[in-house]
Amino acid sequence: MKVELSDEARAQVREIDEWWRANRPAAPDLFSWELGQALTMLEATPTLGTPYDVGSRAVRRLLLRRSHYHMYFVEQGGKLFVVAIWSAHRGRGPQL
């Protein structure tokens, strides 16, 4: 299944990647690599992740284990849309 990032998710990815490269010199490419791996896995297995309760919207969440970010996505029109990338350390999810 095709996976696309929302404009908001693209902005979050850019911000996280810039921060990661500036603050994680031992593994500057880890976040972008792990995100790429997760997107590839989602294309092959769109049911990955766990349901994330936001009311009536069917959102799923997938943990990027090494970088500790969650990727939130929804299925819409035969595609998966990543709607947010959010730090697992924040203790709360994003506004969806």
Is residue 14 in some structural domain? yes
Q: What CATH number corresponds to the domain at position 74?
A: 3.30.2310.20
Asked if the structure places residue 69 within a domain, the reply is yes
Domain enclosing residue 42, as ranges: 3-89
What pLDDT, in 10s, does the model give residues 17-43? 999 999 999 999 999 999 999 999 999
Please report the beta strands in the chain, taking only residues with DSSP state E, as ranges in sequence order: 3-5, 50-53, 58-64, 69-76, 79-87
Q: What is the pLDDT of residues 44-85, one digit of tens each?
A: 998 899 998 877 778 999 999 999 999 999 998 899 999 999
Q: Is residue 31, in this structure, part of any structural domain at all?
A: yes
In a domain, 96, yes or no: no
Full-model pTM: 0.90
Provide the number of structural domains found in the chain.
1
Is 94 inside a domain boundary? no
**Structure tokens, 12:** 């979050």
pLDDT tens-digit series, residues 38-54: 999 999 998 899 998 87
